[in-house]
C-alpha cells in the first residue's frame, strides 16, 4: 500500500523520508522537493503527476539512484540508497532498478536482442543463460519475432516494448517509468500501458511512473500529485495547498 504521510520506520519496499532537493540556478535556490515522505509496497503501481518543473523527474532520479538528495533518506528493500558511494550506487541500480524512458533510449547500433541483453552483461550469467533470459523478456513484451531488428526498423511502440524488456530482463526490484507513453500515439500508448499493468498484475512488479497524461495515470493503483515539493493523493491537491498555506 502506498502512503505519503508516514514518518517513522516501516516495512515498505521503498521508504522515503524527509526528502529535500534544492538546485542552485544563477545564485537562486530552487527547492524542488521539500520534506517528501513516501512508502511503496511490493507490487504497487504508483503514478506521479504534476505540472512541468514540479519535480516529478527529479523524484524519479532520486528513487533510481541517478541523483542524490540535498537532505533526507531513501531505502529500498532495506538498503539505504542515500549513503552509498557512486560506485556502489551503480551496482545497486544494476541489481534493483529497471528504467523505462520516454524516448526509449535504445542503443541504435544494437539489435533488439543486444539492447535487451545489456543489463545482463553486468551479471555472471553465461552466454546461453543470457540468451534464454533475453528471449523470455522479449516474449513477455511480444517481440520474439523482432529480436534481430535494429531500433530504426521498429515502430515507436515496439521500441518502447524493447525498452521494457530491457528494464525487466534482469528482474529488478522495481521499475521506474518516466513518461513511458509520452512519445506514442494513443493506440501504442494503450498497448504499453496494458503491458505495464500486466507486469504488475501477472509478475508482481513494483512500478513507479511519471506521466502528464491523466488517462494513463488513472490506470495506476494510486495517483500522486507533486506540487510545491510535496506528494498528495489525487483529489486532495486543493486541500494540500490550503493546508500548506495555513
Partner 1 sequence: MKFRGLIFANLFRKKIRLILTVGSFAVALFLFSFLAVVKGAFGRGADIAGADRLITINRTSIIQPLPLNYRDKILRIPGVVAITHNNWFGGVYQDEKNFFPQFAIDPQNQRIVLPELKVPDDQWANFLKDRQGAIAGAKTAARFGWKIGDKIPIKTTIFGGANTWDFNLVGIYHSEKAGGDESQFWFQWDAFEEGVPKTFKDRVGWYVFKIQNPDDAPRIAKAVDDLFSNSDFETKTETESAFAAGWVKQFGNIEFLILSIGGVVFFTLLLVTGNTMAISVRERIGELGTLKAIGFSDRAILSFVLAESLLISLIGGLMGLGLAALAIPVLANALNGLLPELILSPAILSIGLGTALLVGLVSGLLPGIGAMRMRVVNALRRV
DSSP string spanning 2-70? Answer: -BSS--S----SEEEEEEEEEEEETTEEEEEEEEEEEEE-TT-EEEEE--TTSSHHHHHHHHTTSS--S
Q: Could you list the residues that contact partner 1 (CB under 8 A)? A: 61, 64, 66-67, 86-87, 90-91, 93-95, 99, 101, 103, 105, 107-110, 114, 118-119, 121-122, 127, 166
Q: How far is the CB of 104 from partner 1 (least distance, A)?
A: 9
Which lies closer to partner 1 via its Cβ, residue 72 or residue 119?
119
Q: In the bound complex, what is the minimum distance in angstroms from residue 107's beta carbon to partner 1?
A: 5
Rg over alpha carbons for the chain, rounded to the nearest Å, is 18
Q: How far is the CB of 165 from partner 1 (least distance, A)?
A: 12
Quick one: 165 or 219, whose CB is closer to partner 1?
A: 165
**For partner 1, the closer CB: 1 or 109:** 109
- Asked if 172 contacts 97 with a C-beta cutoff of 8 angstroms, the reply is yes
Q: Which of 3, 15, 83 is nearest to 46 (CA)?
A: 3
Instruction: Supply φ then ψ for residue 129, to 5 degrees.
Output: -65, -40
Q: How far is the CB of 122 from partner 1 (least distance, A)?
A: 5
Would you state the cell numbers that stand for residue 68, as one nine-digit string? 542524490
Least distance CB 105 / partner 1 (angstroms): 4
For partner 1, the closer of residues 105 and 237 by Cβ is: 105
Instruction: Kindly give the residue spans of alpha helices, DSSP state H, lying in the chain.
Output: 56-63, 86-96, 112-117, 127-140, 156-168, 186-201, 214-217, 237-245
Residue nearer to partner 1 on the CB measure, 90 or 194: 90
Pick 84 or 118: Cβ nearer partner 1: 118
Between 101 and 241, CB nearer to partner 1: 101
Pairing mode, if any, of strands 97-100 and 79-80? unpaired
Q: How far is the CB of 234 from partner 1 (least distance, A)?
A: 27
Min CB(9)–partner 1 separation in Å: 28
Which of 92, 37, 76 is CA-nearest to residue 59? 37
Amino acid at each position: 500500500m502506498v502512503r505519503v504521510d508516514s514518518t517513522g520506520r516501516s516495512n515498505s519496499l521503498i521508504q522515503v523520508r524527509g526528502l529535500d532537493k534544492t538546485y542552485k540556478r544563477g545564485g537562486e535556490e530552487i527547492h524542488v522537493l521539500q520534506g517528501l515522505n513516501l512508502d511503496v509496497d511490493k507490487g504497487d503501481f504508483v503514478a506521479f503527476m504534476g505540472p512541468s518543473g514540479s519535480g516529478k523527474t527529479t523524484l524519479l532520479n532520486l528513487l533510481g539512484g541517478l541523483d542524490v538528495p540535498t537532505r533526507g533518506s531513501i531505502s529500498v528493500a532495506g538498503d539505504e540508497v542515500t549513503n552509498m558511494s557512486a560506485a556502489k550506487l551503480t551496482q545497486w541500480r544494476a541489481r534493483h532498478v529497471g528504467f523505462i524512458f520516454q524516448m526509449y533510449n535504445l542503443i541504435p547500433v544494437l539489435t533488439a536482442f543486444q539492447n535487451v541483453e545489456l543489463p545482463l552483461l553486468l551479471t555472471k550469467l553465461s552466454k546461453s543463460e543470457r540468451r534464454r533470459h533475453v528471449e523470455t523478456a522479449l516474449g513477455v513484451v511480444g517481440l520474439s519475432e523482432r529480436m534481430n531488428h535494429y531500433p530504426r526498423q521498429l515502430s515507436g511502440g515496439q521500441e518502447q516494448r524493447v525498452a521494457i524488456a530491457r528494464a525487466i530482463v534482469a528482474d529488478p526490484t522495481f521499475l521506474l517509468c518516466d513518461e513511458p507513453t509520452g512519445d506514442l500515439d494513443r493506440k501504442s500508448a494503450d498497448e504499453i500501458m496494458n503491458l505495464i499493468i500486466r507486469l504488475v498484475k501477472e509478475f508482481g512488479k513494483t512500478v513507479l511512473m511519471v506521466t502528464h497524461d491523466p488517462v494513463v495515470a488513472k490506470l495506476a493503483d494510486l495517483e500522486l500529485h507533486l506540487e510545491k515539493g510535496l506528494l498528495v493523493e489525487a483529489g486532495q491537491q486543493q486541500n494540500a495547498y490550503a493546508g500548506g498555506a495555513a
